[in-house]
Structure formats: C-alpha cells, structure tokens
Amino acid sequence: MKQHWLTLLIVVVIFLLWNTPVMIPLKILIVFFHELSHGLAAVLTGGSIESISISPQQGGLTTTRGGSLFLITSAGYLGSLLIGVLLYLSALKSKADKLIMGALGATMLLVAALYMRELFALGFTIAAGVAMLASARFLPENINDAALRVLGLVSMGYVPFDILSDTIIRSNLRSDAYILSAQTGLPTVLWGGLWLLASLVVIFYTFKKSLR
C-alpha cells in the first residue's frame, strides 16, 4: 500500500504542476524519448539515424535514412509511451533503480555524442545525462526509484495529451499522423485517434498491473 500511495502522490503533484515552468525540462525530456523512438525504429527496420534535435518549445526532429517509413513514423508517440511504461514498472518492480538511472544517463550522453548537432539539443541532452549519472552514483536507491517513477508517469501522461493536441485538435499541423496520412491516404485524425486509443489502453493495463 505504501508503494501505491507514493505513486498516487506523484500523480497528484504532476497534475498540479503540469502547466508550470517546473515541468518544462521533463516535457522536453519526453520529446527526446519521442525522437529517440523514431531513430530506434529506423535502426530496427534496417535504416540509420542521421541526426536528432529537440527545442525549448518542446519540438523535435529526427532525420533517418532507410528503414520502414510507416514504422518509423508510428514509433514516436507509442515508443515514448513504451519507454515511460518500462521506466515506471522497472522502478516499481525491481531494486536496480540506480543501475537503470545510470544506463539511461549513459544512453543520453551516447545519443548526444553521435546524433546531436544543434546547441540547445546538445546542451540539454548532455546536462540531463550527467544529472542522471550523478543521481545513480551519489543519491540513494529510494531517490532514484522516485525519480524513475516521475519520468515514467510524466511520459505516460504526456503522450495522450500530445496526440490529442497535435493530431486531433490541430490536425493541420505537420505531425507524425499528418505524415502518415500523406503516406496512406487515411485522415490525420484517424491515425491520431488510433494512437490515442492505444495509449489509453496501455496506460490502463500498466496501472492495473502495477496495482497487483
């Protein structure tokens, strides 16, 4: 029960702070997860990553070569959601919080070194990676556990709001769904609706699993 109350407390705090400047770095980090998911989809389908960029306005761009365009385009929202789910469940179910935080920080530094070209993207990713490595090295297990839960829950919460805003409410934006619509001829809102439904189902079953 103590674990469930901690999760509930984190959810309440995230909700109260959602539209405040405090959340901006976390939201930009989720954009990084989104763009990294595009890149990983490219690599896993036989392509490669050319560059990754993120901006202070919570925007991002990943340039890839080769691979399955359909899967690469689809991977952004759902991939960042999956990363959030894995971080949350790993924190909840394992005792390797410091190891997971350190691995995440090392991954960010590696991506920065290989694929970041713009100053803000490079600086933010390096700073976040160093902070994660420092947390893993110097802070106790319970602090790393709480931090991973926060990252996981923010990612899980950000994805459906982002899908709703970018692909349904503002379907004219050049979003992933807009690009997929151009590839398939199916409406942007259809892809956005499918991704939104999928994200809500995944979040529901993640919380159901975590409450057992």
DSSP string, 141-158: HHHHHHHHHHHHHHHHHH
pLDDT, residue 41, reads: 97
Q: How far is CA 202 from CA 78, 120, 149, in A?
A: 10, 32, 16
The helix/strand/coil state of 50 is strand
pLDDT score for 93: 86
Instruction: Report pLDDT for 171.
Output: 82
Residue with tokens 């409450």: 211
Residues in the chain predicted with pLDDT less than 50, given as ranges, are: none
Q: Comparing C-alpha atoms, which of 182, 107, 212, 104 is closest to residue 150? A: 104
CA distances from 107 to 9, 21, 32, 160, 191 (A): 29, 26, 12, 25, 30
The pLDDT of residue 164: 92
Place of tokens 């790393």: 144
Give the count of beta carbons closer than 10 Å to the beta carbon of residue 43. 14
How many angstroms separate the first and last alpha carbons of the chain?
10
pLDDT in tens, 131-168: 999 999 999 999 999 999 999 999 999 999 999 999 99
| Closest listed residue to residue 59, CA positions, set 104, 24, 93, 98 | 24
> Model pTM?
0.93
Distance CA 54, CA 36 (A): 10
User: Are residues 195 and 177 in contact, defined by beta-carbon separation less than 8 angstroms?
Assistant: yes
Contact in structure between 177 and 70 (CB atoms under 8 Å): no
Alpha-carbon radius of gyration of the chain = 17
What whole-number distance in Å separates Cα of residue 49 and Cα of residue 42? 7
Check residue 113 and give its pLDDT: 97
Assess contact for 78 and 30: CB atoms under 8 A.
no
Q: Give residue 10's pLDDT.
A: 86
Listed residue (34, 23, 12) closest to 81, CA to CA: 34
Q: Residue 173 has what pLDDT? A: 84
Q: What is the pLDDT of residue 3?
A: 66
The residue behind tokens 């394992």 is 94
